[in-house]
Structure 1
């Protein structure tokens, strides 16, 4: 996949949620990558899109506070991310190194 690294290409990816972005990143340069550029099934692309869209659903953005059970909601999101990481590895036949970076956003809010 094309990225901003010196060689302008990477096969080392990180699955990480963020607001309004695709959830794949170059491990080295941090470039946000297009999910559609990978040879993935439509089903997995859609799962990744739903997972990415749910990032931060444990925060009340207007009040800038964690929702009730926000830590649990974030934990569920992270578990789903681990599962998606395994699906990515399987569909990509180990042609890519893929790591998962869990969300730690809830740690920034009082319990």
Structure 2
């Protein structure tokens, strides 16, 4: 993973969802790692990929607003993401610090329209 990151050594990772990106990022330089090169099980790689593909189901992209149950969809996505981040942390053991970055679009947008 070091070759992909701008940092000299990368031991601080973040699990974060974004469109068109894999779920693991350098928490220092924000480099997005190709999931195949992250030293975790194939099963966990697959689950992270499935999770990332559901990112933004709470967003009406054409109108830049949330769907009717968007806050709940985003919260469910964040709960699953936190569980996956904990599994990444467990598989990487003490070698890496792993944090989770939840999505906040629906919550922020819901507050702005009230």
Instruction: Answer whether TM exceeds 0.5 for this pair.
Output: yes
Q: Which residue of 2 aligns with 1:46?
A: 46
CA deviation after TM superposition for structure 1 residue 63, in Å: 2.4
CA deviation after TM superposition for structure 1 residue 94, in Å: 2.2
Q: CA RMSD in A?
A: 1.3
Structure (1 or 2) with the greater helix fraction: 2
Q: Distance in 2 between matches of 1:68 and 1:94?
A: 41
Q: Which residue of 2 aligns with 1:59?
A: 59
Q: Distance in 1 between matches of 2:13 and 2:69?
A: 30
Write out the 4+ residue segments of structure 1 that deviate beyond 6 Å after TM superposition.
none
Q: Distance in 1 between matches of 2:94 and 2:44?
A: 16
Tell whether the 8 Å contact from 2:59 to 2:65 is kept in structure 1 after alignment: yes
TM-score (normalised: structure 2): 0.89
TM-score (normalised: structure 1): 0.91
Total equivalences in the alignment: 109
